[in-house]
Amino acid sequence: MANEVLLKSGTPVVWADTTDYSPAGGVIYTRTHQIDLTSLADAAARQGAKADLGATRAARYVVRLCLEADVQLASAVTAEVYFGWSNHATVGLDNPAELTGADAAYTGTTGDSIADSVKELDGPYVYVGTSDVAPIMLPMNIGILTPVQRYVSPVIVNNLDQALEGDAVEMYLALIPIVDEIQ
């Protein structure tokens, strides 16, 4: 009998806010790294803490983003997710696009706009808003990521034409490993 190569989900790397995020409130992922998306303004960006995907890691990850806007969204507005890769575990070292490796506002590289600065990063992974639902948490798989280095810092750019919710109870960014398993 031939072996089958099946897929399983590994343990996700999850960026969320330590003060608000509540996996007990119906969110299924446990926070592993910090990003505070509370009230992130339209046309603003936030970077998350640098994460270690491990010396051995999955070859692919599902990128899943859950956002909550203050009011109902217009159709086809977007948020974008980018990833900055690094070979160094230290927060402030070997980061592209002047990422700090810590949870903080992201204003772009010196002298450049956010739109120009994120061109140095991996992405965009696009979250598309829709007007058919009230402003509730909207989880969405937005792509498949292939890691290029061990350490990674995310950047989320809000282009939803409005600020995100005033708390970050349900908001998160998750990288969910897709693991090949021979059976």
Tens of pLDDT, residue by residue over 108-138, are 999 999 999 999 999 999 999 877 666 666 7
Tens place of pLDDT for every residue, the chain, 183 residues?
678 888 888 999 999 999 989 876 566 799 999 999 999 999 999 999 999 999 999 999 999 999 988 888 888 899 999 999 999 999 999 999 999 999 999 999 999 999 999 999 999 999 998 776 666 667 899 999 999 999 999 999 999 999 999 998 889 999 999 998 888
By the 8 A CB rule, do 156 and 46 touch? yes
Three-class secondary structure of residue 89 per DSSP? coil
Q: What is the pTM of this model?
A: 0.93
CA-angle at 134, arms to 128 and 140, nearest 5°: 35
Is CATH 2.60.120 the right assignment for the domain spanning 5-182?
Answer: yes
Residue 69 pairs in a beta bridge with 164
* Buried/exposed 89-127: b ≥16 CB within 10 Å, e otherwise: eeeeebbbbebbbebeebebbeeeebeebbeebbbbbeb
Domain chopping of the chain, boundaries: 5-182
